[in-house]
A and B are shown apart, each in its own frame.
Chain A
Amino acid sequence: MTEENDTTPGGTMSRSRLLIGVAGLALLLAGVSAQTGGAAASTSTAAVLAQDDAVAAGAAVYADNCATCHQATGLGIVGTFPPLVGNPNAADAEYVEETVRNGLSGPLEVLGVTYNGEMASFSDLSDDDIASVVAFVGSLADRDPSAGPSTDPDAIEPGDIGEGRDLFQGSNRLDNGGAACASCHVAGEVGNLGGWSLGPDLTGSVETFGGEAGLTGWLGSPASPTMSPIFDDKAITPNEIADIVAFLGDAPTQSRPSDPGDGLILAGAAGFLVLLGGMAIAWRGMRQTYAERLRSKR
């Protein structure tokens, strides 16, 4: 080891401590102002969507809670998640508030399409949040849905399972540079040496999203809190989505390689033991210090 051997002088630190305190405070203030600047910038995107404050606040609540199913566009997914844009129910504030608080299930017809899904209750939202999201959803009702639903099931081209697996595990990069699915997820035969991962197992995701159309629409703008910052400016292209959905659709039929010993932990532990073994060998050559050797010569 080549460490210096100085002693730390004690005392006479009070002036430097004062200086440090002042400097720390100044930088804290600088940090706070940088932070509020950033927050203002991020809410300005919501402001574009809405004219007044309540609607703007509602847009943020919507993005966090509703966009996962009803989509960031509010157009929903045909046959799976009803659209809010152009939906007359969305203009009915009481109806929307009731639905947000208590959820909704059973058959429902919106713009000529019948839905039969289940919406969870969002009763844990604060009264303010509910009021603002009701205002935002109300603003969607007046919009023109002629842009069409975000996903038309008939327009989806069949994806390729093998291509989808390559994209999923990152062997082929996503065109816009988004993270490979396998960074965080396991699915089907892509099993990650034992299967633990940051995100959920996606083997049954097609079923979870009410069919391939549902998953396809969701992947168009993934709205979970973890995924949205990653994919907001790195959208997965429609062809990639088709391939990934094909792979995930096939995933339940694939068998995951069995890995009962959990390969990662075993490999890590083995490497650790090798390192310790190397140290033990090196120690034999350095056991005697120079002083000890000099003494032993006497």
Chain B
Amino acid sequence: MTTNELLFGVFPYVAVALMVVVAVIRWRRHPFSVSSLSSQLLESRQLYWGSIPFHWGISLILTGHLLALIVPRGFELWNGEPLRLYLLEATGLALGLWAAFGIFMLAYRRHTNSRVKAVTSPMDHLIVLIIGAQIVTGIWIAVGYRWGSFWGTSVFVPYVRSILVFDPKPEYVDPLPFVLQTHAFLFWVFLAVFSFSRLVHIITLPLGYLTRPWQKVVRMRETPAVYHPAAEKPLERTQ
């Protein structure tokens, strides 16, 4: 087995398996750990300039990647007109830079703010590193190996689809430049560490919040209120 087959034909399955199996075990044994430890009450200003750009930027870009996987032909038709291609790529680059700015702010905050530092685990640093590297290689590709939204539909889409249908075709990735291979590999690493880290909070997307009435979290120095009798529902903090 070649290195390429190992990294891009076998490892994806290990990564996805780890993600699913560990998430289930964690959910069953430590349901309250399936979350991301919020540090908003410890520091909110830098969090705003880190969390908002990072989360919106990365979510929109991830959505774009997923859309390309689902409707690659739509991307090809859209990109057939150069102006539309430029618009899409420039938008992607702007969102990528935004997300990069955000993850840099978050990393800076985790390293410099002593209150945030106190609740930071080594795994937090690791995933900031992985996601940071993922964003940097993404920007690198967007600028240096154009046009990702165009060739991606012929290179990465069939590759990822081959993984999904259990007929791995790592040969799609084999001839690509190192940066592109790194970007693809880091995605599988991301899935592998997903359930071991705070990334697991992604599967807890609180869709109920869309229909729930507004709720304000109030913290007063004098009264450490955990349960507010005026709230419509008791807060789910039974631990």
Contact = CB atoms under 8 A, between A and B. Distances in A.
Nearest to B162: A38
Contact of B10 (A19, A35, A190, A197): A35
Contact of A8 (B11, B18, B30, B89): B30
Interface in B156-211: 158, 166-169, 171-172, 174-177, 180, 201, 204, 206, 209
A3 interface: yes
Interface string A188-211: 001011001110000000000000
A16 B23 CA distance: 11
B13 A19 contact: no
B17 A27 contact: yes
B201 A3 contact: yes
B237 A271 contact: no
Contacts of A294: 218, 220
Given A31-B10, A183-B147, A264-B90, A269 B35 contact: no
Contacts of A95: none
A126 interface: no
B151 A4 contact: no
A24 interface: yes
B25 A20 contact: yes
B101 A272 contact: yes
Interface stretch (A86-94, A145-153, A221-229): A221-229
B129 interface: no
A39 interface: yes
Interface residues of A, number: 68
Contact of A183 (B35, B150, B169, B209): B150
A272 B201 CA distance: 27
Contact of A6 (B12, B32, B121): B32
A4 to B, nearest CB: 4
B40 A34 contact: no
B80 A290 contact: no
A46 interface: no
B33 A9 contact: yes
B146 A279 contact: no
Contacts of A272: 93-94, 97-98, 101
B216 interface: yes
A8 B89 CA distance: 40
A290 B151 contact: no
A1 B18 contact: no
A2 B149 CA distance: 32
B90 A8 contact: no
A31 B166 CA distance: 9
Given A24-B14, A229-B158, A271-B90, A182 B33 contact: no
A180 B169 CA distance: 21
The binding surface of chain B is classed by DSSP as helix
Interface in A34-56: 34-36, 38-39, 42
Given A5-B38, A16-B29, A170-B80, A179 B18 contact: no
Contacts of B73: 177
Interface string A261-289: 00111011111101110010001001001
A156 interface: no
A173 B177 CA distance: 26
Interface in B85-104: 86, 89-98, 101
Contacts of A177: 73
Contact of B93 (A34, A225, A268): A268
B220 A269 contact: no
Contacts of B80: 169-173, 180
B133 interface: no
A265 B22 contact: no
A270 B76 CA distance: 25
A291 B219 contact: yes
Shortest Cβ-Cβ A-B pairs, 8 listed: A271-B94, A268-B93, A27-B17, A31-B13, A225-B175, A267-B90, A3-B38, A179-B154
13 contacts: A6-B33, A24-B18, A27-B17, A38-B9, A39-B1, A173-B76, A179-B153, A180-B150, A184-B151, A264-B143, A267-B86, A271-B93, A276-B101
